[in-house]
């Protein structure tokens, strides 16, 4: 069967990763959460006290990222360390937009993401997947949802990870990240002209997955 690339972009907290993961599972595709890659680089910057300014090639080359399944879920490893529990903390949330605005960081990660999609059969979620990473993706989705729906979702996700952030803290962090993600020079969050908008404010995760799957089947059959 024909394999395609599915790019899912949108604001934080719209359920992009959960949807992408479900779609990938149903299609037997690879799922890549590019936010986890930017978060892992941010974690590296924080733990190695690297100043948040354009890093050298040497620094970037010290950061090895890969995804590996843990209990059936693809998780990110940084220099062979399982960091997926550490990349969702308040500290990483605070700095990730600044680190992901650095051009050298973006170029380094975009190149890795493009390699991951060479064989197609991939669902990738992020901010610039349909515009920069895979401008020729067969299916592009742009997800949006009301701020309140996104706050509620993030809050329950973080509770499951035992991360204690109030709804107000999450709200302020989302507003700040939305602003930074849409206003940076390199790879800003924006809808690709040919992306299909899905508003997830009143959808369940199952409905979100089904909507994307229906669109994917159309593309695969065409």
Judged by the rule CB under 6 A, the positions of this chain that interact with ligand DC are 12, 34-35, 38-39, 96-97, 100, 126-128, 177, 181
Q: Which is nearer to ligand DC, 20 or 203 (CB)?
A: 20
Tokens 């037997």: give the residue.
28
Q: Is the dihedral of CA 59, 65, 32, 173 positive or negative?
A: negative
How far the first Cα of the chain sits from its last, in Å, is 11
Q: How many helices (H) and strands (E) does the chain have?
A: 8, 8
**Max Cα–Cα distance, the chain, nearest Å:** 50
Q: Which is nearer to ligand DC, 19 or 100 (CB)?
A: 100
Q: Is the dihedral of CA 206, 210, 211, 216 positive or negative?
A: positive
To ligand DC, the closest distance from the beta carbon of 34 in angstroms equals 4
To ligand DC, the closest distance from the beta carbon of 221 in angstroms equals 28
To ligand DC, the closest distance from the beta carbon of 219 in angstroms equals 21
State how beta strands 196-199 and 122-126 pair. Answer: unpaired
Smallest Cα–Cα separation from 191: which of 127, 148, 107, 146? 127
**Cα separation, 129 vs 2, whole angstroms:** 20
CA distances from 181 to 61, 80, 162 (A): 24, 28, 26
Q: Which is nearer to ligand DC, 97 or 208 (CB)?
A: 97
Q: Which is nearer to ligand DC, 138 or 181 (CB)?
A: 181
Q: Which is nearer to ligand DC, 146 or 217 (CB)?
A: 146
Q: Which is nearer to ligand DC, 2 or 161 (CB)?
A: 161
Residue pair 146/66 in contact (Cβ under 8 Å)? The answer is no
Structure tokens at 60: 């970037």
**Cα separation, 174 vs 178, whole angstroms:** 6
């Amino acid at each position: 069967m024909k394999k395609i690339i599915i790019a899912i972009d949108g604001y934080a907290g719209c359920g992009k990763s959960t949807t992408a993961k479900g779609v990938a599972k149903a299609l037997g595709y690879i799922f890549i959460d590019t936010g986890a890659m930017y978060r892992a680089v941010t974690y590296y910057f924080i733990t190695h006290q690297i100043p948040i300014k354009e890093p050298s090639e040497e620094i970037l080359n010290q950061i090895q990222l890969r995804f590996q399944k843990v209990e059936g879920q693809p998780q990110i490893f940084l220099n062979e360390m399982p960091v997926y529990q550490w990349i969702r903390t308040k500290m990483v949330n605070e700095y990730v937009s600044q680190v992901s605005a650095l051009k050298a960081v973006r170029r380094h990660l975009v190149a890795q993401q493009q390699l991951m999609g060479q064989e197609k059969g991939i669902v990738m979620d992020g901010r610039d997947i349909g515009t920069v990473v895979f401008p020729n993706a067969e299916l592009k989705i742009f997800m949006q949802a009301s701020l309140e729906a996104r706050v509620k979702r993030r809050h329950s996700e973080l509770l499951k990870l035992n991360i204690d952030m109030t709804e107000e803290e999450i709200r302020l962090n989302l507003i700040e990240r939305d602003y930074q993600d849409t206003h940076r020079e390199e790879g800003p969050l924006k809808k690709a002209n040919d992306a299909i908008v899905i508003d997830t404010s009143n959808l369940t995760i199952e409905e979100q997955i089904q909507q994307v799957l229906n669109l994917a089947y159309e593309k695969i059959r065409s």
